[in-house]
Amino acid sequence: MTMRVPHVSRCSRRGPCRHNGKLRYSIYFMPRRPSASAENAAPSLKLSPRGVARLQAGHPWVYRSDIAVANDVPPGSLVRVTDLRGKFLGTALYSSSSQIAIRMIARGEVADLPPLVAERIRAAIVYRKQLVSNTNAYRIVFSEADFLPGVIVDRYNDVLSVQILTQAMDAGPVREIVVETLAAELQLAGIVERVDARIRELEQLAPRQSGLLWGQKSSTLVEMNGVRFHYDGLEGQKTGAFLDQRENYAAAAQYAHGEALDAFCYQGGFALHLAPKCSAVTGVDSSRPALEMAEKNAALNGRELEWIEANAFDLLRDYAAAGRRYDTVVLDPPAFAKTKRELGKALGGYKELNLRALKMLRPGGLLVTCSCSFHVSVPDFLEVVAAAARDAHKSARILENRGPAKDHPALLNVPESSYLKCLIIAVSD
Ligand code: SAH
């Protein structure tokens, strides 16, 4: 994690020296007095050796059970982190209620959080400018991956969707600087906050309503890869769309052909990208509001697709049993494994879905299969799809083994940040 260490100007010579025209003494001859910044320093907290080892392994989170001493640390404050002997390890954001007690924010001292947040938001915007093209909808700030733990910002053309997920980032001055910086840096008509009531409860934050934080506009139109979508910041799941799949939509469309089935289609992200390449596209989802929006999106693009409101598991089983065949199948189910304990069950779910889809594919077919459970690793997912292919007596060649779009960066040392897997597979009998 690149963290900025505040620049400390030190005179290299010992004894009195001239610095900026003023006479001053180097630290060598000065009696040790607390400096101004030390007087205002953040409260301190000591980690157990296991906590220290975790930081040294590169992970920015330390769990409450690995905090040895934390006296009088206010909820949501900046905190100086040390080992048991008092050796300084960096500055973190403290949560008084989450199991993740601290999230590291800098290797050096931080006196004041809002200016650091502003600087990192600007850096996140610059990073996206280098990486993102062919869309006006993309993630601008992705929490730890942009060194802003607990802040997520998605851009939908001229409307932003903001999520604040930690005590420290919920503080009034931090919220203000987030909105102020985004409004100053981008051409916007509105900034919407999406509130996750469960996370606020876990962080012991007062309840809030989703709503406009800035400007007047909460809905707009976006375009990605030449496909247009409606966006309503105060409706829908997640922050409104599944932006992490943006590059996978385009990749899947490259190989799609014939009759296509988009299972778990939500508002038609894959389906609408496949439509220009396929003779017919059917989208399936259990959410009626999602399908209503999918239909509006189809109209916006001048396309006619079939939308079916159904449990995709049942539909795949019934269609497979009835001998229904497709040339292209997309599987993008919700996360099956929300906790590690659910992993076994989740792998069973993926196996079953992939098995049914593989059986339904005509020779030369294409399977686009995704998992957004971070407890399911890339090797786990490859193995489960391989097992499904064996059981279906199909040969499967991997065309692409993909992750989320580049505007959703993952940190190498934070396995929790790489969650989305998308395999594009050429299937033959
Ligand atoms: N592919 C979509 C995102 C899918 S998210 C996109 O790119 O935008 C997962 C979707 O699965 C949600 O829309 C949810 O409503 C739907 N879903 C959840 N359980 C389902 C089930 N049993 N059958 C069908 N759809 C389901």
pLDDT-derived band at 341 (thresholds 50, 70, 90) equals confident
Residue 40's pLDDT is what? 61
Catalytic residue set? 372
Task: Round to whole Å and give the CA distance between 242 and 15.
Answer: 61
Name, of 3-7, 57-61, 250-254, the range with top average pLDDT: 250-254
**What is the mean predicted confidence (pLDDT) over 68-87?**
96
Q: Which of 73-82, 143-152, 153-162, 408-417 has the lowest mean pLDDT?
A: 408-417
The pLDDT value recorded for residue 417 is: 78
SS3 content of the chain, % helix, strand, coil (to 5): 35, 30, 35
Out of 41-45, 65-69, 413-417, least confident range: 413-417
Residue 2 banded pLDDT, cuts 50, 70, 90:
very low
What pLDDT score does 1 carry? 37
Closest residue by Cα to atom 22, ligand 1, is 311
Over 50: is that where the pLDDT of 64 sits? yes
In angstroms, the CA 71 to CA 32 distance is: 25
Q: Could you give the domains of the chain?
A: 16-106 (2.30.130.10), 113-221 (3.30.750.80), 242-428 (3.40.50.150)
Q: Which residue has the CA at smallest separation from atom 6 of ligand 1?
A: 269
Give, using CA atoms, the residue closest to atom 18 of ligand 1: 334
- Provide the pLDDT confidence category of residue 22 given band limits of 50, 70 and 90: very low
Residues with a CB atom less than 6 Å from ligand 1 = 242, 245, 264-267, 269-270, 284-287, 290, 311-313, 332-334
Higher pLDDT, 247 or 374: 247
> Is a pLDDT exceeding 70 seen at residue 25?
no
Q: What is the pLDDT of residue 42?
A: 85
Of 86-90, 341-345, 380-384, 404-408, which range is least confident?
341-345
* Mode of pairing for the β-strands spanning 227-232 and 219-224: antiparallel
Q: What is the pLDDT of residues 269-308, one digit of tens each?
A: 999 999 999 999 999 999 999 999 999 999 999 999 999 9
| pLDDT-derived band at 24, boundaries 50, 70, 90 | very low
How far apart are the CA of 267 and the centre of ligand 1, in A? 9
Q: Could you give the 3-state DSSP secondary structure of residue 366?
A: strand
Which residue from 284, 285, 356 has its CB within 8 A of the most atoms of ligand 1, so it is best to mutate? 285
Q: Mean pLDDT of all residues in the chain?
A: 90
Mean pLDDT of 354-359: 96
Ligand 1, atom 1, residue with closest C-alpha: 265
The set of long-range contacts for 63-69, using a CB threshold of 8 Å and a minimum separation of 24, is 63/99, 63/100, 63/101, 64/98, 64/99, 64/100, 64/101, 66/101, 67/101, 67/102, 69/45
**DSSP reduced 3-state for 254:** helix
Ligand 1 centroid distance, CA of 112 (Å): 42
- Report the run of H or E that residue 350 belongs to, with start and end: helix 343-360
> Considering only CA atoms, which residue is closest to atom 16 of ligand 1?
264
User: Given a cut of 60, is residue 196 above it in pLDDT?
Assistant: yes
The reported pLDDT for the residue numbered 20 is 41
How many whole angstroms from 91 Cα to the centroid of ligand 1? 39
Which numbered atom of ligand 1 lies nearest the CA of 334? 9
Cβ proximity of 189 and 217 under 8 Å:
yes
* Band (237; pLDDT cuts 50, 70, 90): low
Interatomic CA distance for residues 270 and 249, integer angstroms: 5
Q: How far is the CA of 264 from the centre of ligand 1 (A)?
A: 4
Distance 160 CA to ligand 1 centre (A): 23
Overall pTM surpassing 0.85 (yes/no):
yes
Task: State yes or no: pLDDT of 3 exceeds 80.
Answer: no
